[in-house]
Amino acid sequence: MSGETPQNLVEEGILEFTLGDSDTAISKLNRALELDDRCFDAWLALAEVYLSGKSLDEALEAAEKAHEIKPDDLHINTSLSRIWVEHGNVEKAEHFAAQVRMISWKKELRGDPS
Q: What is the pLDDT of residue 6?
A: 98
How large a percentage of the chain has pLDDT more than 70?
Answer: 96
User: What is the CATH code for 6-110?
Assistant: 1.25.40.10
SS (H, E, C) 13-68: HHHHHHCCCHHHHHHHHHHHHHHCCCCHHHHHHHHHHHHHCCCHHHHHHHHHHHHH
Burial of residue 48, with CB atoms counted within 10 A of its CB: 0-12 exposed, 13-18 middle, 19 or more buried: buried
Band of pLDDT at residue 113, cut at 50, 70 and 90: low
The Cα angle at residue 23 between residues 80 and 11, in degrees rounded to 5: 70
Q: Summarize pLDDT for 52-102 with one digit per residue, the tens.
A: 999 999 999 999 999 999 999 999 999 999 999 999 999 999 999 999 999
